[in-house]
Amino acid sequence: MFQGITAIAFDIDGTLYASHSLYCRIIPHFLKHLRFYLKYNKVRKLLHHTAPLADFYEYQARNLARLTGDSSEVAAQKIKSMVYDGMKPYFDKIKCFDYVPEAFQKFKEAGLKVAILSDFPPEQKGEIWGVKQYCDVILGSEEAGALKPSKYPFGILAQKLGVNPEQILYVGNSVKYDVEGAKNAGMKTAYILPWWRRVLGLSLPGADISFSSYRQLVDIVLK
């Protein structure tokens, strides 16, 4: 097993599926609610830098309300209807990367604990392309109280898995949020290479593993 790990955890967006396949589909939805999303994105940028919150959803709604002039209750409902619920249907038509379900199955069969940690609610993706059945823990960082790259959601993940952070390999597509965030929490990291790094043959120096496909990841982790 790779460097003695006992658990492997995954981001979802951009890690289990190609981000562009979502972006292409949500353009009409985004443009329809453009003013909302411009303000909402400002709030999310702020939330990536806040300390752990006792009530993440209340704080998110309160900050959005300051920008929109709505009450916190109305802001919270807009976030739910336009983001959490509003984007659900788009994931029904998105395909995961090749070999993702098979990789989860192989990791589980090899004796690893398997988990998901995502900044957006994992349940937004339904059955997550069939991988839920292999997961010991499925966690949204919002429910943990802080977004990545905060060390806090990674720490909560380790607690729920019942293993030390250094025994976890965290797999993601964002250098700042996934690789650096997990590294700062004491975890090992695997980075799925974007197309331009694949073309140029460039790995990511800060990651323990750089990989181009899930078959390759399986080979590296289970060697």
Q: Kindly report, residue by residue over 63-87, the tens digit of the pLDDT.
A: 999 999 999 999 999 999 999 999 9
Which two structure tokens, joined as six digits, stand for 34?
A: 């453009």
Per residue in 85-142, pLDDT (tens digit) is 999 999 999 999 999 999 999 999 999 999 999 999 999 999 999 999 999 999 999 9
Taking the whole predicted model, whether its pTM rises above 0.85 is answered as yes
Q: How confident is the model at residue 171 (pLDDT cuts 50, 70, 90)?
A: very high
Cβ atoms of residues 139 and 197 within 8 Å: no
The amino acid present at 176, given as its one-letter code, is K
194 sits in which H/E element: none
The predicted model gives 164-192 an average pLDDT of 98
Distance CA(159)–CA(164), nearest Å, equals: 8
Q: How confident is the model at residue 192 (pLDDT cuts 50, 70, 90)?
A: very high
Per residue in 8-46, pLDDT (tens digit) is 999 999 999 999 999 999 999 999 999 999 999 999 999
Distance CA(44)–CA(6), nearest Å, equals: 32
The predicted model gives 155-172 an average pLDDT of 98
Q: How confident is the model at residue 146 (pLDDT cuts 50, 70, 90)?
A: very high
Distance CA(202)–CA(216), nearest Å, equals: 16
Locus of tokens 């025994």: 167
The CA–CA distances, whole Å, from 37 to 44, 75, 198 equal 10, 12, 32
**Sequence-ordered list of residues with C-beta below 8 angstroms from that of 100, at least 6 positions apart, any chain:** 16, 129, 131, 214
- 123: closest CA among 149, 85, 151, 90? 85
